[in-house]
Amino acid sequence: MKKRFKVAIICDAGFNTGTFYYAIRLAEELSSLGCDVSLVTPVRLSDVKAKQVVLKSVLFKLPFAGRPYWLLSLYRRLRKYDFDIIHSFGYGIMNLLPFDIYKHTLKVTSISDVICDNKEMRGKSFAMWFIVKFLQPPHIRFNDLLIISTQYTRGEMVRIRKAPAEKLRVSHLGVAENFGKIKNKSVLDKARKRLNLPDKFIINTGGIKISKNIVNMIKAFKIISRQHPDVHLVFSGKLNTSSHAPDYHKKVYHEIMKLDKEAQEKFHFLSFVSEKDLEALYNLAALLFMPSLEEGFGLPMLEAMRSGIPVVTSNVSCMPEVAGGAALLCSPYEPKDMARKVDMVLRSKQLADSLVNKGLKRVKNFTWKQTAKRAYAFYQEAWKKKFG
């Protein structure tokens, strides 16, 4: 007989990241499966179909220190709720402390990637260095169960972090059902006008980070632009061009400035895109161009597939695993190959339609309900192992 768990899902509300939505969707779907789930947040969230335990902190919004302080405070504050399971994400402080006052609780964490371990990816980031040196080792040691997003990352956790294989379980993420083909032309026209989008463009969603391979994208687009003069490149992320910009942003800006004026005007950085606008953005784009060097999961690929557009992505990291043959793969280290694959899709309607059809079939394998069912099964297995 399955145990009905009382579960705390830790959600550091206010960070609109993939992890933020993962926590919310998992809490909602676990609730629908009959678990007694509480989404633990520092602020109340609207439009969430799960019970919330709001543990406020006046310091939460402080830069750098606010979020770690709130997570650390949970170690004491959650005791009175008597949860069976405490499920964190990333490298939350909740499950790191060696003086364990939660001996009768199953401690679980979802980990999406090992980017912090890659010196090239983390650059000069002190936060990422701190994670690698001080947070990861005890985190792996003191958690009972580590849920990993892909088989690729599971292998890297064992190889790089020496994580015990018996603690690791793989569960792919889901894709929100609100992504799909938008048939209302008026909705799309309004979004195009609101976002000031060009007539024909390819998109890249996510931040401006080393792992996203933006510099090589620009080099590839220089070739693409000559082959397809009417095509623009749109980024949902914000490019910081100030004197205090991160080093990688400066590299991206410098690479764009190498191009002629006409080519420079084909780059668009939207800075912030709401979820509704993101749905329209996918529908308006000719394809998703995602030649990342490293990803934890690559959720934009599935969002694009569900929206009915073709995908060109990398042949490294977890991208081939998630794409599952439904995307065109390129070498992220070779701008000429990147450009060639994009050109193939833009030039051949037959190829584009084939990728779209494969993508629509592929994306059916990724739902949040399936993610929650796997998590529930992992809870049962780990609980039996720890408590008998």
156 and 210 in a single domain? The answer is no
Structure-token match 């687009």, residue found: 221
Antiparallel, parallel or unpaired: β 145-148 and 328-330 = unpaired
Dihedrals φ, ψ of 215, to 5°?
-60, -45
In DSSP terms, which residues pair with 88 in a beta bridge? 109
250 and 348 in a single domain? The answer is yes
In DSSP terms, which residues pair with 38 in a beta bridge? 8, 51
Distance of alpha carbon 371 from alpha carbon 89, whole angstroms: 14
On whether residue 374 sits in a domain, the answer given is: yes
On whether residue 180 sits in a domain, the answer given is: no
On whether residue 60 sits in a domain, the answer given is: yes
Q: How far is CA 292 from CA 121, 141, 216, 326, in A?
A: 11, 30, 10, 17
Q: For 336-387, what is each residue's pLDDT tens digit? A: 999 999 999 999 999 999 999 999 999 999 999 999 999 999 999 999 999 9
35 and 144 in a single domain? The answer is yes
103 and 241 in a single domain? The answer is no
Distance of alpha carbon 12 from alpha carbon 10, whole angstroms: 7
On whether residue 269 sits in a domain, the answer given is: yes
Question: C-alpha angle 385/50/25, rounded to 5°?
Answer: 70
237 and 142 in a single domain? The answer is no
The three-state secondary structure class of 354 is helix
Contact 268, 186 (CB under 8 A): no
Note the pLDDT of residue 370: 96
Q: How far is CA 149 from CA 12, 184, 299, 342, in A?
A: 19, 34, 11, 27
The answer, yes or no, to whether residue 117 has pLDDT greater than 60, is: yes
Contact 87, 10 (CB under 8 A): yes
On whether residue 357 sits in a domain, the answer given is: yes
CATH code, domain carrying 263: 3.40.50.2000
153 and 193 in a single domain? The answer is no
Structure-token match 């394809």, residue found: 287
Q: For 80-106, what is each residue's pLDDT tens digit? A: 999 999 999 876 555 555 567 888 999
Q: How many CB atoms lie within 10 A of CB 205?
A: 23
Contacts 24+ apart (CB under 8 A), 375-379: 375/26, 375/30, 375/87, 375/147, 375/171, 376/2, 376/5, 376/30, 376/33, 376/35, 378/108, 378/145, 378/147, 378/169, 378/171, 379/5, 379/7, 379/85, 379/106, 379/108, 379/145
Q: Which two tokens stand for residue 78?
A: 């959650």
Q: How far is CA 265 from CA 198, 250, 356, in A?
A: 11, 18, 29
Q: How many CB atoms lie within 10 A of CB 216?
A: 18
134 and 23 in a single domain? The answer is yes
93 and 241 in a single domain? The answer is no
When comparing pLDDT for 291 and 124, which is higher? Answer: 291
Domains held by the chain: number: 2
Note the pLDDT of residue 92: 59
Side-chain half-sphere CA neighbours of 20 within 13 A: 10
Note the pLDDT of residue 20: 85
On whether residue 222 sits in a domain, the answer given is: yes
357 and 371 in a single domain? The answer is no
The answer, yes or no, to whether residue 266 has pLDDT greater than 70, is: yes
On whether residue 1 sits in a domain, the answer given is: no
Q: How far is CA 11 from CA 5, 43, 146, 326, in A?
A: 18, 10, 17, 32
168 and 236 in a single domain? The answer is no
Residues belonging to the chain: 388
Note the pLDDT of residue 187: 96
315 and 241 in a single domain? The answer is yes
153 and 217 in a single domain? The answer is no
When comparing pLDDT for 147 and 112, which is higher? Answer: 147
Contacts 24+ apart (CB under 8 A), 155-162: 156/114, 156/117, 157/111, 157/114, 160/114, 160/117, 161/114, 161/117, 161/136, 161/137
Q: How far is CA 73 from CA 117, 252, 263, in A?
A: 27, 39, 50
The answer, yes or no, to whether residue 67 has pLDDT greater than 90, is: no
The pLDDT confidence band at residue 296, using thresholds 50, 70 and 90, is confident
pTM of the model: 0.91
Closest of 171, 116, 176 to residue 149, by C-alpha = 171
On whether residue 179 sits in a domain, the answer given is: no
Note the pLDDT of residue 112: 83
Q: How far is CA 290 from CA 5, 149, 242, 246, in A?
A: 39, 18, 26, 21
DSSP letters, 74-86, are: HHHHTGGG--SEE
The answer, yes or no, to whether residue 140 has pLDDT greater than 90, is: no
Q: Which two tokens stand for residue 91?
A: 């490298």
Question: C-alpha angle 344/345/347, rounded to 5°?
Answer: 65
- Domain span including residue 115: 6-174+367-387
Note the pLDDT of residue 21: 87
Q: For 186-241, what is each residue's pLDDT tens digit? A: 999 999 999 999 999 999 998 899 999 999 999 999 999 999 999 999 999 999 99
